Every structure is written in C-alpha cells, then in structure tokens.
Structure 1
Amino acid sequence: MTTEATLPSTSASPTARHLWTRARGITLAFVLLLAGAVTLAALRSDARHGALDPRSADPYGSRAVAELLSQHGVATRVVTTVADARAATGPDTTLLVADPDLLTKHQQRRLHAATTDSGGRTVLVAPGGWSVKTLAPGVAADPAASRESTLSPGCALPAARRAGTADTGGIRYTTTLRDADECYPSNRLATLLRLPAPSGDGDTVVLGAPDILFNDRLDEQGNASLALQLLGSRPHLVWYLPSLSDSSTTAPDDEKSLVELLPAGWLWGTVQLFVAAALAALWRARRLGPLVPEELPVAIRASETAEGRARLYRKTRARDRAATALRSTTRTRLAPLVGLPVAQAHTPETLLPALSAHLNSDGQALYPLLFGPPPGDDQALITLADRLDALEREVRRP
C-alpha cells in the first residue's frame, strides 16, 4: 500500500463551461461596446458624408450655397489636387480650401506661393494651428474654441456689416497684421479675418467655422448673405476638397509628430491627468513600518468559519478538496488514539495495521475510507463524512 493517489481531476482545473460562466459577463459587455462603437461610427460617417461638398445635398453638404452662387452668375468648379488648385488661381477666381488641416506642409507652402500674388481671393475654412501659420502668415489659431455659435460682426468689413449676425463661432484667431479686418469677435478674438494681399490686389479670408456653408444652416441668421458675399466677389469659384489621392505633392519631411497629431488641448489634459493620478497615489499611499496587531472587532465562532468554507467548497464543486480535508483531519485525530505520532498519520503502512489491531478488524477494509479516491457527487461526500465520524467514535469507545 502507498500514500494517497494523485487525484485525476480537481476543482483547480476549470472546465470550458466554468470558464464561459465566469467570462460571459465581460464578453457580453465587450460585444455591446464594440457594437455601439461600430454603430456610432456608421452614424457619424453617414451624417458627414459629403461634408462641405458643393455637389452634396446632405445636411452637411454645400450644394445650396453653390446653387445660390450659380443664380448670381458665379460658376463653381470642384478640384481635389493642389496642382489643379494652383492652376485655377487668378484675379477673377475665388479659391475655397475646404479642410486646410488635411494638407501637408509641402502642399501648404505650394498653395500659399500660388495664391500670394494671384490677385484673387482665398477662403480658408476653419484652419487650425497646423495650417493657418503657413497659409496665412501672421495669423495664429487660439487653442480655446468659441463657446458661442452665433456672433455679431463687430467690424467695419462691408460684407460682415450687411450680413449681420452669423454662425461663425468656432476657431478663434489672432493676427499681427495691422490692416487686417477682425470680425465676429468672441471674447475679443476674431472668428473671421480678412487679410489684404501684400501686393494690394486680392485677399485671404480665414473663416473660423464652416457652419455658414452647410445646407441645413444656410437659411439661419445672416449665413446666406455672408457666404454669398465671401464667395461671390469673383465670377469663378474653385472649390478645393483635399483628398488622399493627391499624394504626388507630398514630401518626406511632411510627416507629423505624435504631439502635432493630438487635438489642441489634449496634451495639457493628459499632463493634468498624470499629475492628478500622482497626487491621488501620494494621498492614498500608506507609510511603511512594522506590523501592528489589532484585535478583531467581533468574535467569529469556529462553526461559522467551517460553514463558510463548506459553502465555498460547494459553490466551486470542490468535492475532492473537501474529502481530502476530512480524511486528513480524521487521520490526524486517530493516530494518537492508537499510539502513533502525528507524523505517521498519513502513511497507510503504519496507520492501517495500528487501527486493525485496535479494532480487531481487517485493515484492508479501512483503506478506501481513509485513503480512497474522491467522491463522485455530494451524496457520496456526505456518506464519507458520516463514515469517518463513525470510525472515530468507534476508536474512541473504551
């Protein structure tokens, strides 16, 4: 006879069913989160389809303003490359750049060089700090956006005074040019700038928000009037929509760093979060020192501890561990009763002969009870506990 055999399976080896039971909540939450993200992305993509495109009738398209300009004799042409935009510049042309921040530095420099002395008008729609310094030298974008959407002109520019209030609230700008028209201020910073060309012919208009060009906002406030005056001063309007297909004008030095790709304010927000986390860690940190014993606030009975452990065994179906604990404890109590040291309580070759001599019975019959395999179900575990109790009572009997 040998010591207790290795158990074929234990509760420490969870089955696929147990793993699924534990992970199904997290998995369901992840699936719902993923589905929500995909749905939101699809809705946003659909809502912004054709944004600022003069051929699009979507709410964020600009077909309405193109139709109004056509009725006033202004022809609109859409281009998607810097080369076409450069070729179209001239004294009788207004060049609108729909999303200047999509242009690389190399593209921005080429476009600015073509529009500086063209004698026409260039309209930049909501350029950020990435592009406005190159396309409109002397102008800087303020990191904080305007909190108001509808603003009053607040300047002497005839187009702004005739249009009145308009939805220009968005990016705010500062300029060092003295002859610039600063209009529609928000907290003393302009959301629309008109910059005369150095040569005296032509100008550049920096518009802080694209709202006055959207189909669903054109009939609000003085948006239509302002849009027609800014875009209809020349007989030809070239609408430049930057595209990914325009890769021939990129240069190796146009790659943006990670800091430049982050939106304005995100860098300082991230730094503030790290500082807050560090302060919270210092606040919650505990001083290192020796352990101090403390008395328990309540006395817990041994029976409650045993019942709690039994419930844990039952919850995890750990019948093997429960049976091992019952047998080991019984053997430890039986060994002194038959004259053996506790160290030999778990050796069948020593314990079983001593028990047989004490009970005048066959030791082979006691082996499955004290060193047998784990029970197969809860009822077998209960039966095992009863038999172990009966054996201990028999040994203790005088």
Structure 2
Amino acid sequence: MTTAAPTLSTTPRHLWTRSRGPLLALLLLVISGLVLAALQSGEHHGRLDPRSADRSGSRALAQLLAAHGVSIQVATTAEEAAAAAGPGTTLLISDPDVLTTSQLTGLHTATAHTSGRTVLLAPGLSALEAFAPGVQLVPPTRNAPRRPTCSLPEARRAGNALLGGLRYVTSADGADRCYTSGGRPTLLRLPAPPSGRDTVLLGSADFLYNQHLAAHGNASLALQLLGAHKHLIWYLPSVSDPSSAPDNERGFLDLIPSGWRWALLQLALAAVCAALWRARRLGPLVHERLPVTVPAAETTEGHARLYEQANARDRASAVLRSATRTRLAPLIGVPPAHTHTPDILLPAIHAHLGSAPDAGTDLHALLFGPAPTDDRALVRLADQLDALESSIVSQERHAPREHPDR
C-alpha cells in the first residue's frame, strides 16, 4: 500500500494558530504604549525643565516665579533664545556645554548690548570664553549647604544654600564671590559693563531642582537671581538643535583623498561586473536522481516524529483519514471526484460492509470526525482506520467471482 503525501496548503486556521502568539504580544505592546502615552500626555520630563514635576525638574521654581509676576518663556533653540533675550530680560542657559562655539558666540553677540542678566549653570571652558573671558575654572567640589560669605544682596538675603560643583576664579574688579569652598566661589557674579548685562556663573544647579528647592535658602536665592527682571528666557539646549551642527562638518566622501576616489569607483565597477559574471542564471528545472534512496518507512517515521514534536495531532489525523478515504474509494466503486464527499462515500461503505462487524461503527466520526485530543486517541484512530480498511480488503479478496468462460 502507498500512503498519500501530505498537502502543503496552509489554511487560515493554521495561519491563525501559528501567528496568534506574536499577534497577541504585539497587540498588548500597542495597548501598553497607548495607555502610557495617554497617562503622560501633556507632561514634560527633563532635567531643569520648568514644565517638569520630576525630582530633577524645575516646575516648582517656575510656579514661584509666576506667582511673583515673572513671565517665563521656554526656548529650545539658540535662535529662539537670542531673539527673545531683549532689553530688561534674564537669560538662563541650563546646559551651556551642549552648545557649539558658534551658538555661544551668537548668543553673546545678541545679548552683549542689552540690559538684563545672563545666568549660566555649570559653564565649562568654551562657555566661559564666550560670556566671561578671563575667568578660570577650578576642579569641582561636592554640593553642600554653604554660607554666602559675600556682599551680594541676593545671597545675603537668602542665607545658606545648596551650592557646590565647579568653582571659578577671576581678577575682575567688582565681582561678587559667594558660597566659597576652599577659598574659591561656586557662585560668581560679574558686574554689568556700560549698556550691558551682568553675568552670573553657578557651579551647580542642584538648588534649582524640585527636590531641593524647599531646603535652606534655595528658593529665595533662585527667586532673586532669576526674578531680577519681569521676563525670564529659560533656554534648554539640545543636541537636536539644527544650529548645533558644526560649521566645518565633513562628510564621509570628504575624508577620502581625491586620488583614491577613482580607484574606489573602479573597484566598485569591477565588483559589479564580477557579480554579474558569477551570478546564478535561472533556467528550467532539471530532474536528477537522488544520491541515496530513502525507504518509505523511514520517510513515514520522520513525518510522524515531526508531527509529534509539533503536537500536530490535527494534521496527522487529517493525513491518516485522507489516505484511508483515497484507498477505500476505488475498492467500493466511488469515483475519484467524490472520494472526500461524506454523502457519497459513507453510504457506499455501509452498503459494502453489509452485516460485517464493522457495519455499526460510526463511520462519519471515524473518517470525517474531529482531531484527537491526545496521542492515545490518535493511535486508537489509526487502529480503527486500519481495521476498517482491512475488513473491506478482505471482503474484496474472498468475494465470489464468475468464471470468465461461463
């Protein structure tokens, strides 16, 4: 007997069975993202962001400034900050080290001849060269509550405050050196030149955070430094700022010497020609004999093991029933077109069995029933199909036939 080869067609049910796990995981991921987006819509998260209520945000300070009549404008680009920093304004640069030299120069040029104040938080060497030339940088110290130890009115009224970080040294006359550590100030105020603005250098911005604002005199110092004018420009630099790209930025091709460009072009053309020469040509299928002959029993056993590993009892039972129906149809006189039609195949089997022991068997459940629920039921199904086929084959062998000469 020959077994029918399993078909390779994929039904929608099989597609759903295979893909429902990844689809459900993707659905849960999308739903979680939508829920998080809905919960966080309208909220801002970021260090020193006046709209952020996080521990390192500055929303509490922004609300205090607004309560004292100070309007705050958040700027995210250097051009926006330079345009908004007009006369009588305070410009706060929260992270000056992110800015390029051209950005720092542009901001200083735009604000050099206007009245107001510029506050830099932990500025490095490049920011000091642009806004405070002549000021030297000293290694940082830890943040701790410190006494003002200076004559700056804002610091004397605030009292102790959480200062530290970078320290600055200058020989400029009239500079206020406050909250010193080791004799070096962590708050340095440079007086305003004629028709200009004063500059405040802060070694650390921790006292502006939401989590530290209520401690010591942090809130008082922040309100006085940033609320000296009625309009505050809160500049949040970002590396995504289009103007942050260096002016002398060079592309990949600019790094290749001019003499090598033609060589690279020739190598690329040679590689394309070699690929076209060695590419596999598509042609008609060629039938060739296999190097070895695989017995049918080994093939059947291999299929069975694959079905067992995949727990594909539905697929295995469908193959067994289809093969049985295909072998029984010519024995009982059913045309090939109706091999898998229950309304034609089952009555023919009943008529052929007659009063045989298997006549009472539920043939519909046996040949067209649901998939077995476990391996034991699958084995029992295979035995029942084999018994049914054996009973019909035995009847065909022992059936009386007329002699052709009679």
Q: TM-score, normalised by structure 2?
A: 0.49
Q: Which has the higher contact order (CA 8 A, sep 6+)?
A: 1
Q: TM-score, normalised by structure 1?
A: 0.50
